[in-house]
Amino acid sequence: MTERFIAFEGVRKSYDGKSYVVRGLDLDVAKGEFLTLLGPSGSGKTTTLMMLAGFETPTHGTITLGGERIERVPPHRRNIGVVFQNYALFPHMTVGENLAFPLKMRRMGKAEVTERVRHALEMVRMAAFTDRRPNQMSGGQQQRIALARALVFEPQLVLMDEPLGALDKQLREHMQLEIKHLHDRLGVNVVYVTHDQSEALTMSDRVGVFNDGILQQIATPHDLYEAPDNPFVATFIGENNAISGEVIELANGACRIRTSDGSVISAMAGGGLKVGAATTLVLRPERISIVDGLSGPNRFRARVNELIYHGDHMRLRVTVCACDDVRIKVPAGAARAPKPGDDIDIGWTPADCRALAQS
């Protein structure tokens, strides 16, 4: 069994004594794991991170780190590195002085401080910047320095709150891989907060999806994408079509649903389904194909409403199975592009769609 390193048990957080921004959180994090907390603004992910850092105190419940309860332990005694979106570097200090500061606060000797600063800067490939000040560096360089400062005192855990949010798209994607590779080399625990689903899927061992103060699902990126537990997770992680219907048959992990226009769709069954109950069927745009004819399961005639060119692929928006907004992702050049108003035959396999209970 994997060693448990962080544990939230029955944690709730309220700022006004009435409403809760985190509700009934139970969460275990394994030793060495890269866990991302993902969700929209106000979902509870950042409050969860701040409670782990010690900047917020839970209203109810317990938090343990390395087997020790830490709810009342002040932040500076938790041996945790923190990286924020705004870098939080001291502008009047050089890079070397910024990294040395947390070590001097721990009363380390001069020789050890010098060696640790050198090693931390080498880890993020910034050794040549020791004597520069923050205003002499780009945003990406400053973020590397902020990361080095969080690692310089060899913390048992690094927390990152939207650390790449201020960077442009290309640099952000580059830094995602930098941070992931650094985690792989060091093996330190990372808990990372973002609202960017692509970032979460790229970097994480597991992702916890929050909404309305509740942890909706925690799983590997693959399982979140392929087997979401509920409609919120399905629509928040990646792009998904959502088709409403009624369960008419349920057996052995599979089901059939009927939409309001009488179409019958075969699908995999999510948890909590019952015959006769309303359901939401989720289906990724890239799993739908333009087919030749209507023979076989899940083959339907669709009306093309819109075509959008994206360079490497095209997006079709069609009406099918009583839904006017089903999107299809088609590789560019794969076939003659249909035009708005055309009727086309489309299909997908039962394994590629999933029927979920409506909350």
Amino acid 334: pLDDT: 63
Structure tokens at 13: 């957080």
Structure tokens at 40: 């929209």
Identity at 332, one-letter amino acid code:
A
Amino acid 310: pLDDT: 84
Q: Measured between alpha carbons, how far is 267 from 349 in angstroms, rounded to an integer?
A: 8
Cross-strand bridge partners of residue 191: 35, 159
Q: Measured between alpha carbons, how far is 38 from 196 in angstroms, rounded to an integer?
A: 7
Could you tell me the fold of the domain covering 4-226? Answer: Rossmann fold (3.40.50)
Structure tokens at 175: 């830094």
Neighbours of 4 (CB within 10 A): 14
Domain spans, the chain: 4-226, 239-357
* Cβ atoms 240, 283 nearer than 8 A: yes
Amino acid 33: pLDDT: 96
Amino acid 89: pLDDT: 86
Q: What is the CATH number of domain 239-357?
A: 2.40.50.140
Please check whether the two domains, 4-226 and 239-357, share a CATH topology: no
Would you write out the chain's pLDDT as a tens digit for each of its 359 residues?
Answer: 468 999 999 999 999 988 999 999 999 999 999 999 999 999 999 999 999 999 999 999 999 999 999 999 999 889 899 988 776 788 999 999 999 998 988 888 999 999 999 998 988 888 999 999 999 998 888 888 888 888 888 888 999 998 888 778 888 888 888 889 889 988 899 999 999 998 999 999 999 999 999 999 999 999 999 999 999 999 999 899 999 999 999 999 999 999 999 999 999 999 899 999 999 999 999 999 999 888 888 999 999 999 998 888 889 999 999 999 999 998 877 667 789 999 999 999 999 999 999 87
Amino acid 244: pLDDT: 95
Distance of CA 226 to the CA centre of its chain: 14
Strand intervals (E) in 99-156: none
Q: Measured between alpha carbons, how far is 220 from 214 in angstroms, rounded to an integer?
A: 18
